[in-house]
Amino acid sequence: MTTQNAYTVSQVAEYLKSLLEGDPSLSDLWVRGEVSNHVRAGSGHHYFTLRDAEGGMRCVQFRPARGAEFLQDGAEVLAHGRVSIYTVRGDLQFYVDMVKPEGVGALQQAFEELRRRLDQEGLFGVARKRELPTFPQRVGVVTSPTGAVIQDITNVLRRRYPLAELVLAPTQVQGDAAAPGIVDAIAGLNNEPGIDVIIVARGGGSLEDLWAFNEEIVARAIFGSEIPVVSGVGHETDVTIADIVADVRAPTPSAAAELVAPDRRELSATVAGFAARLSDRASRGVSDHRMRLEQAVDRLAFLAPETRSYRQQVDQQLRAAGQALNQSIQINRERLRSLELQLSALDPSAILSRGYAVVRASDGSIISSIDDLSTGDSLDVSVAGGEIGVEVTDVRLSPGDD
C-alpha cells in the first residue's frame, strides 16, 4: 500500500464505528460498574465514567433517558446501551439509554465503613476538638504549591491579618502519592517551631479526586496532630473523613483562611470602642464626685456658716480636679491616637504607597536579606498599585557589609 492510499482519520473512525455498531452483542449490552466523574450538562445530558477495580469506560446518557436519577458519584449501577465511537474525538463511548441501581459503590462503601470504625474509636469526638488561636503568628498550610487554593488562602490572610506568617508544606492532593504526602506535610509542620494552626486544603472534585482525604492514614495524622487542624477540602457539599476528624471544618479553602485569621478592621474598631468607653467612664466618675462634693458643701453651709475659707479651698480643689480630669482625658486621647497610628502602620497598602516594596521569591517567601538572593533568581516585587516580575542580574552588598 502506498501513501497515496492512506486513510484519513475520520475514515478510520467511521470504519471502527461501523464495526462496533454492526456487532449485535455490542448494540444490546448491560454493563455493571461504579459511577464516577459524573457531570450533568446544561442541556440535560449526563456524562460519566463507569469503573471497576481494573478499568473505566466513558459513558453518555442523552436526555430524556430512564434512570438518570441514579447517576451520582460512588453509585453502583447497571447501565444498558450500545458501544460506539465518538468520531469527533475518536473516543470509545458507551451510549446509555437506561440505568438501574445496583447498590452502594465500592468507594462510597469504603468511606462509610472507615467512618463507622473511626467513630467507634473516638476520632470524631466533639470533646477532643480544640479551639483555634485568637491571634496566630504562624499559619501552616498543607496543599498543592500550584493552583488557585494556595493563592486564595494567601490573599485572605494578607487582607485580614497581615501579621500572620504563612508556612506552606507542599504536597500532592490527588493520586496514589497524595495521602502519604499529606501525612508527611502535617508531621513536618508539627516539627516546625511556632506553628499555631494548620490548614489542610484542596479544591473541589469527584469522590475519586478527593479520596486522599478519606484515607485512614490522613485521618490519624490529623487526629494525632499536636497543632489544631482546620479542614477546607472541596466545596460546601463535599464531606471527607478529614473534615470530620479535624478540629474545625470549613466549607472551602478560603473560608478556612477566614476562620484562622482575625479581621484587622474589626480589631481596630474594638480598640477604638474600648478607648471611647474608658474616656466616658472617667468623665462620669469625675462628674459624680464633683456632684457629691457640691452637695457636701451645701450641707456644710447650713451647719457652719463661717466656712468661707474652707469653701475657697474646696473651689481650689475643684479647679485642680477639673485640671486633672482634662489632663487625664488628653492623655487618653493621645494613647488612642497612638493606637490608631500603630494600626494604620499595619496596612500594607499604606507602607507601599510611601515608596516601599515587598520582594518575594518564586515560592512566595519574603526576601528579607541580600543573602537570600542569587543572580538569575526570579522575583515578584509588590508596589503600590500592583506587582512587578523581575530577574536578579546583579547582587551588591551594602557598603561596610563586606
Q: What pLDDT, on the 0 to 100 scale, is given for residue 172?
A: 93
C-alpha closest to that of 339 among 257, 276, 260: 276
Domain 8-104 annotated CATH 2.40.50.140: yes
Q: Check if the beta carbon of residue 63 is closer than 8 Å to that of residue 44.
A: yes
pLDDT at 306 over 70: no
Q: What pLDDT, on the 0 to 100 scale, is given for residue 223?
A: 95
What average pLDDT does the segment 15-44 reach?
86
Dig out the grid coordinates for 196 from the structure: 499555631
Using alpha carbons, list the distances in angstroms from residue 270 to 135, 263, 273, 364. Answer: 14, 11, 5, 32
Top-ranked range on mean pLDDT: pick from 112-126, 262-276, 380-394: 112-126
Q: What pLDDT, on the 0 to 100 scale, is given for residue 301?
A: 64
pLDDT tens, residue by residue, 55-84: 889 999 998 777 787 788 888 888 999 998
Q: What pLDDT, on the 0 to 100 scale, is given for residue 280?
A: 75
Label residue 176 by pLDDT band (50, 70, 90): confident
pLDDT tens, residue by residue, 206-220: 777 888 999 899 999
Q: What pLDDT, on the 0 to 100 scale, is given for residue 74?
A: 84
What is residue 340's three-state secondary structure? Answer: helix
pLDDT at 145 over 70: yes
Q: Tell me the pLDDT of the chain averaged across its residues.
A: 84
Q: What pLDDT, on the 0 to 100 scale, is given for residue 152?
A: 93
Q: What pLDDT, on the 0 to 100 scale, is given for residue 231?
A: 95
pLDDT tens, residue by residue, 326-354: 888 888 888 888 877 777 766 677 777 77
Q: What pLDDT, on the 0 to 100 scale, is given for residue 194?
A: 94
- Which pTM was predicted? 0.49
- The DSSP element (H or E) to which 116 belongs, if any, is helix 106-121
Residue that wins the pLDDT comparison between 147 and 354: 147
Q: What pLDDT, on the 0 to 100 scale, is given for residue 278?
A: 79
What average pLDDT does the segment 357-377 reach?
82
Q: What pLDDT, on the 0 to 100 scale, is given for residue 258?
A: 93
Superfamily of domain 109-260: Succinyl-CoA synthetase domains (3.40.50.261)
φ/ψ (deg, to 5) at 350: -70, -40
Q: What pLDDT, on the 0 to 100 scale, is given for residue 335?
A: 85
Angle at which helix 148-160 crosses helix 253-260, to 10 degrees, equals 30
- Dist CA 200 CA 194 (whole Å): 17
Label residue 139 by pLDDT band (50, 70, 90): very high
State the amino acid at position 240 in one-letter form.
T
pLDDT at 98 over 90: no
Name 120's Cβ contacts closer than 8 Å, sequence gap at least 6.
none
Q: Check if the beta carbon of residue 236 is closer than 8 Å to that of residue 251.
A: yes
Top-ranked range on mean pLDDT: pick from 10-19, 281-290, 327-336: 327-336
Query: H helices within 304-386, ranges in order?
Result: 308-345, 348-353
What average pLDDT does the segment 306-329 reach?
78
What average pLDDT does the segment 7-12 reach?
79
Strands 378-383 and 386-391: antiparallel
What beta strand segments (E) does 131-279 contain?
Answer: 138-143, 165-170, 197-202, 229-233, 248-249
Residue that wins the pLDDT comparison between 166 and 12: 166
- Dist CA 201 CA 221 (whole Å): 14
